[in-house]
Amino acid sequence: MSNHAIDDSSAGATRGSIEVHAIDHIPTSERHGRVWQQAPFWFASNFLLPSLVVGFVGPLGGLGFGWTTLAIVLGSAIGTLFMALHASQGSTLGLPQLIQSRAQFGTHGVIFALLVTVAIYVCGNVFDVATTTQEMQAVVGSGPAWPWAVVIVMIQAAIAVCGFNWICRIERWLTYVIIIPFVVLTLGFIAVIGPSHVFLMGTFNSTVFFSQLAATALYLVAYVIYVSDYTRYLPATTRPGPLLLAVFVGPFVSSVWLSALGALFASTLKNGATLTSALTAGDMIVPGFGTAIMILAAIAQVVVMPLNTYGASLAALTAVDGFHPIRSSLRIRVSATLWLSGLILLIALAAPSANQGTFNDFLSLITYFVVPWSVINLVDYYWLRRRRYSVVDLLNRKGIYGRWSWRGLTAQAAGLVAMIPFIALPSFTGAGARALGGVDVSLLAGALVAGLVYYALRRGGDRSEDRAIAVADSRR
């Protein structure tokens, strides 16, 4: 089998400096990278100023800083655990994340997950364009937004076209560049306001506490749809335990760090619950330091966007391939990347900033789809098929996994239905969430129902043929 990694060297995976693979299987000869490199990669992918915003939920609801931080830690642990559990699928199978999901939903049935995935990627990048523009305008002053949008999309498209090795290399080095300035920002701000603010638990409110926990967890769960895309080049002999730990540690540390820092800004600064609070905090330490932080954060946001565009191209190609076979090649991946980048730019230019709140609600809403999908995928991988799949049949529309898997689709639908009463968004609050005082426990409801339904339905099925072919395929 084959997989994806984070080393600077690549055997035949690139043509010059551009990756030649798309949704095809990565040969053993092209497997490369080290497990520890996953930690800085995922750290940088989440070390963005929007992570500050996640920490605003508690303080804006009247929750004390200490309690907010505890909720952030628990929510980060839940979200990153989901991410980490998907990591070994890449190194085991050498395939993109959503190709493997054909085993649970069928080559046609997985289309729903693919469409949601592309929507999340595209909407996420549209949000990133708006955020990066705000960051730069906070530094250079207001002005037309469209030039920033054009430049931002062009830069991220160029990186995404180059593919896996360049994305991984840039993300890893971004960690080393960004970490020291943010250590200075964090410690310097604490020194300015006084360390006593950090050690106060403050007011407790159970509703806001669980709202902060849910917001943090759901923010990270959205990453699960492309974890295997960035582990599929790792050697097939990669041990799952160390890989799980590396993928867990990176985003957990960055999430807790930045979200807690955002909570501290919101708790101590006047009008601190804004994206530009980092600018204010930095200038409190040394005049001009806040400007440097905003520029660095904007650069980080731009170079993280290719992760979304690259993942969206793989998901889009997987969707097409499920109905009409495509030849996986450099040309078709580059074409998909450029088309998606164009779509991102069009939406970013067309969406007025006044509608940003509605847009964010939509992005949050479609992210709920990921929860039952993730649990179904993990239950199938770890407990039912026990990591044994036929790679040949996953790539074959007429293979053993079929076109429509009613078991997976039924479990997905059941999980989504179970979530609806417990969703709590500014634009929609379910009856169950209202009964709980506005607490969003939809993640728990969706995960439990989807996992149990799929396990019950699949457990009763005949998987002898699956096992036989998967074992035979593993020996090829």
What is the tens place of the pLDDT at every residue in 9-28? 333 444 447 888 888 999 99
Gyration radius of the chain over CA positions: 22
What phi and psi, each to the nearest 5 degrees, are found at residue 314? -65, -40
pLDDT of 428: 81
Tens digit of pLDDT for each residue in 160-196? 999 999 999 999 899 889 999 999 999 999 999 988 8
Alpha helices in 101-145 (DSSP H): 102-105, 111-140
If pLDDT is split at 50, 70 and 90, which confidence band does 472 have? Answer: low
The residue type found at 463 is R
Show the tokens assigned to 254.
């960055």
pLDDT of 358: 56
Strand, coil or helix: 359: helix
Among 9-13, 191-195, 424-428, 442-446, the least confident range: 9-13
- Residue 432: pLDDT above 60? yes
| Structural contact between residues 273 and 56, judged by C-beta atoms closer than 8 angstroms | yes
Show the tokens assigned to 260.
């807690």
Q: What is the CATH number of domain 14-368?
A: 1.10.4160.10
Give CA angle at 276 (352, 342), nearest 5°: 40
Tens digit of pLDDT for each residue in 361-388? 666 777 889 999 999 999 999 999 988 8
- Residue 473: pLDDT above 60? no
pLDDT of 5: 34
If pLDDT is split at 50, 70 and 90, which confidence band does 3 have? Answer: very low
Percent of the chain scoring above 70 in pLDDT: 90
- Residue 340: pLDDT above 90? yes
| Structural contact between residues 314 and 98, judged by C-beta atoms closer than 8 angstroms | yes
CB within 8 Å of 287: residues ≥ 6 apart: none
pLDDT of 70: 97
Residue 167 CA to residue 137 CA, distance in Å, equals 26
| Structural contact between residues 66 and 195, judged by C-beta atoms closer than 8 angstroms | no
| Structural contact between residues 187 and 261, judged by C-beta atoms closer than 8 angstroms | no
As separate numbers, helices (DSSP H) first and strands (DSSP E) second, the chain gives: 21, 4
Query: Whose CA is closest to 352, among 122, 149, 57, 152?
Result: 149
pLDDT, average across residues 435-462: 88
Strand, coil or helix: 204: coil
302 vs 200, which has greater pLDDT? 302
pLDDT of 354: 45
Longest Cα–Cα distance in the chain: 68
Mean pLDDT, the chain, rounded, equals: 88
| Structural contact between residues 222 and 50, judged by C-beta atoms closer than 8 angstroms | no
Query: Which residues are registered as beta bridge partners of 15?
Result: 18
Query: Which residues are registered as beta bridge partners of 18?
Result: 15
Q: How far apart are the first and last CA of the chain?
A: 9
Query: Which residues are registered as beta bridge partners of 429?
Result: 424
pLDDT of 2: 34
Tens digit of pLDDT for each residue in 96-130? 989 999 999 999 999 999 999 999 899 889 988 98
If pLDDT is split at 50, 70 and 90, which confidence band does 1 have? Answer: very low
Show the tokens assigned to 413.
């639908």
pLDDT of 149: 93
pLDDT, average across residues 439-467: 84
**What are the domain boundaries of the chain?**
14-368
Show the tokens assigned to 370.
């990921």
pLDDT of 459: 82
pLDDT of 352: 60
pTM of the predicted model, to two decimals?
A: 0.89
pLDDT, average across residues 143-161: 93
Q: Which residue has the tokens 């499920």?
A: 322
pLDDT of 467: 61
